[in-house]
Homo-oligomer: A and B are copies of this chain.
Amino acid sequence: MPIPHNAKKVFQGIIFDVYQWDQPMYDGSTQIFERIKRRPSADVIATVGDSIVVLSQEQPTKPLFPSLPGGGIELGEDPKTAAMRELLEETGYQAESIELYSEENGGGHKIEYINSIFIAKNCTKIAEQHLDAGEKITVGFCSFEEFLQLARNPKFTTARNLIIDMYEALLDETKKENLRKKIFG
């Protein structure tokens, strides 16, 4: 359920805003309810031949972890533009075509945090990496089977629904083939 229209923004931060409102309870009383809105992000499943791009990434408060290309969506930027920008900045790669895989709330019940996942097909290198002051990134490649196993690595950082889809593909051959077709088909 989205944050209701009558909610007040009681704090505006850099990536987190806090909202509160009076919520009617089942017994007729009201309680102040509180929710977070987090700056949305986009991740990219980028293919090069029959491989998928996987980053080894390090950030000032986060030791080495595998991830997909991606990052925060800027204010006023649409998710697809953010996905293409992050892919180019973090890897130097550009896609032949890019399409939405999913757009879901990854924050759970009390946190509104929209994660968009894009599939970027047939990528080629057109530039050098161009990293932020808070990024150290090594670009790597893995097979589809290795990609699915990444879900089982507790350090792998991506949208929650994608991790679940990867586990489901590991449990169910039909789902696996559907995911393979979506990414490479």
Contact = CB atoms under 8 A, between A and B. Distances in A.
A interface majority secondary structure: mixed
A117 to B, nearest CB: 16
A111 B16 CA distance: 10
Contact of A25 (B1, B111, B133): B133
Contacts of A34: 13-16
Contacts of A80: none
A157 interface: yes
A181 to B, nearest CB: 21
Nearest to A17: B18
Interface string A126-161: 000000111110000000000000001010010010
- Kindly state the interface size class of chain A when it binds its partner: 35 or more
A154 B16 CA distance: 25
Nearest to A171: B170
A5 interface: no
Contacts of A33: 60-61
A16 B32 contact: no
Interface of A: 1, 4, 10-11, 13-16, 18, 20, 23-27, 29, 31-34, 36, 38, 60-63, 108-111, 132-136, 152, 154, 157, 160, 164, 167-168, 170-171
